[in-house]
Structure 1
């Protein structure tokens, strides 16, 4: 009987080993990757902290500001594993993961405002599955953004950031906004949706490019390319994102955030003080 039972289970065991091997070859990206370079505001999933509430999703992590109706920042890891053939879902919607009783910004909250529902983590960075792409259309991942900024200036930097994947790199991106009051196609505004959504004055982004590897924060060096931009949320801005290059230090001074905090301090001191001068396309 023992010999019979071993024969019966050997094919099952072989199948399990084969499945395990397949999974190991194509691992699912880990949500913790999105905060590998640090949690810029020390956000936690504590409803008692409504201006710095952590939402750690499989596709990105963010700090949400309930009273502004937008994120303080969104952080995500970009690698070839996140890219695929899934189409753009365009299913803008409220985020059901916000605490009970909080106002949920709706897909219609920006309607006729003159501002785009501007993605922080872009749709095109999450095309591995339809579910991944759909997650980028949650309104907690949006900010009221001047259309020229969203569709041209930021879109150009988004395309450029993805271009590094083809040459054996992975990318970390942190993006957010600050201030109050921007200019869209209908002119200047400070809030939308009856005051529930703040229109930011500035939109910023930090892009860190690394060769593919492990233990990423420790591998950031003083020679690592870091792109930081800070743009006006104004429909008359330049479409060239390179015009708005700045330092990480300057963004930190404007926002009160501690970006790249998981990177060794000596390295931070160098890369956060440097303005990128590399190519823009």
Structure 2
């Protein structure tokens, strides 16, 4: 009888031990949303190298969909809170991203040189100043588009400054920026491509900004009255310096790009917010 009890005790221990060490199946990385994709993956980009023109790249500082054929991101998404802002200096270390798949052309720091177009950041340098490494990551060429100088240095710079001021005043923001079309007008005239055709010059540059007071569970805190700014500018040098001139709806950007922006919101709230044109302050 004693042997039987001992055997049962050992068997019970083994069964319980097995349960404690079971491995829970993990979701595919493509199904896990990073901080920067809190409101969704607009084009359902994936890390499949065969999906070369909608290739998902996730950095600690931002997430993006990359187009191998265009040599630019389709869109870049990032989150800004005070935690991302600090005193790290601007690195200006424009460079190729060596992590791109083998065999892909790597746009480099010289690809835009002499073209009449800026190496225009999507995620701005000044949005990532907590550490030198964070700031340096914004200078990877996968984060750049050929941008008309006045568009970059005036119109977009003012919108970027305004966005950071919101954060400094107690908000947090989610930003999605992208570009589409072919052909822009830089300081030296019209160009459709750069670097022997390896980099496409976009005709339009857009941005969507979701603004929330600092807090947690961000998607659940969005309501019908949450402020969402949508802007779409032509990529030209003769452009108004006032970004407010180019406000539009998220719906209009979706119609132009076929993306599904803010897809993590409930259908009702998404429909309301995406149909609005922002009329709030611009400075």
Question: What is the TM-score with the length of structure 2 in the denominator?
Answer: 0.88
- Name 2:132's counterpart in structure 1: 130
CA distance in 2, matches of 1:194, 1:79: 39
Shift of 1:167: 2.4
- Name 1:177's counterpart in structure 2: 179
* Runs of 4+ deviating beyond 3 Å: none
CA deviation profile, 1:145-185 (whole Å, cap 9, x unmatched): 00000000000000000011122210000001000000000
Which of the numbers 153, 156, 180 marks the counterpart of 1:154? 156
CA deviation profile, 1:66-87 (whole Å, cap 9, x unmatched): 0000000000000000000100
In our comparison, the structure showing a higher alpha carbon Rg is 2
SS at the partner of 1:228? Answer: strand
Which of the numbers 240, 247, 265 marks the counterpart of 2:267? 265
CA distance in 2, matches of 1:273, 1:96: 40
CA distance in 2, matches of 1:32, 1:92: 25
- Name 2:250's counterpart in structure 1: 248
Instruction: Note the residue ranges of structure 1 that are not aligned, 5 or more in a row.
Output: 1-30
- Name 2:7's counterpart in structure 1: none
Which of the numbers 193, 217, 220 marks the counterpart of 2:219? 217
Answer yes or no: is 1:62 the counterpart of 2:64: yes
Which of the numbers 271, 275, 278 marks the counterpart of 1:276? 278
CA distance in 2, matches of 1:32, 1:42: 14
- Name 2:74's counterpart in structure 1: 72
Number of residue-to-residue matches in the alignment: 251
CA distance in 1, matches of 2:99, 2:224: 38
CA deviation profile, 1:105-129 (whole Å, cap 9, x unmatched): 0100000000000000000000000
SS at the partner of 1:150? Answer: helix
CA deviation profile, 1:12-44 (whole Å, cap 9, x unmatched): xxxxxxxxxxxxxxxxxxx81100010000111
CA distance in 2, matches of 1:156, 1:164: 13
CA distance in 2, matches of 1:216, 1:277: 23
Answer yes or no: is 1:108 the counterpart of 2:110: yes
SS at the partner of 1:206? Answer: strand
- Name 1:9's counterpart in structure 2: none
CA distance in 1, matches of 2:99, 2:37: 19
SS at the partner of 1:59? Answer: coil
Which of the numbers 32, 50, 53 marks the counterpart of 2:52? 50
CA distance in 1, matches of 2:186, 2:169: 37
CA distance in 2, matches of 1:218, 1:193: 44
Question: Is the contact made by 1:218 and 1:264 (CA closer than 8 Å) also made in structure 2?
Answer: no
Question: What is the TM-score with the length of structure 1 in the denominator?
Answer: 0.88
CA distance in 1, matches of 2:125, 2:226: 26
CA distance in 1, matches of 2:65, 2:149: 24
Pairs within 5 Å for 1:196-207: 196-207=198-209
Say what the alpha-carbon RMSD is for the aligned residues.
0.8
Instruction: Note the residue ranges of structure 2 that are not aligned, 5 or more in a row.
Output: 1-32
CA distance in 2, matches of 1:131, 1:264: 36
CA distance in 2, matches of 1:115, 1:205: 19
Question: Is the contact made by 1:37 and 1:262 (CA closer than 8 Å) also made in structure 2?
Answer: yes
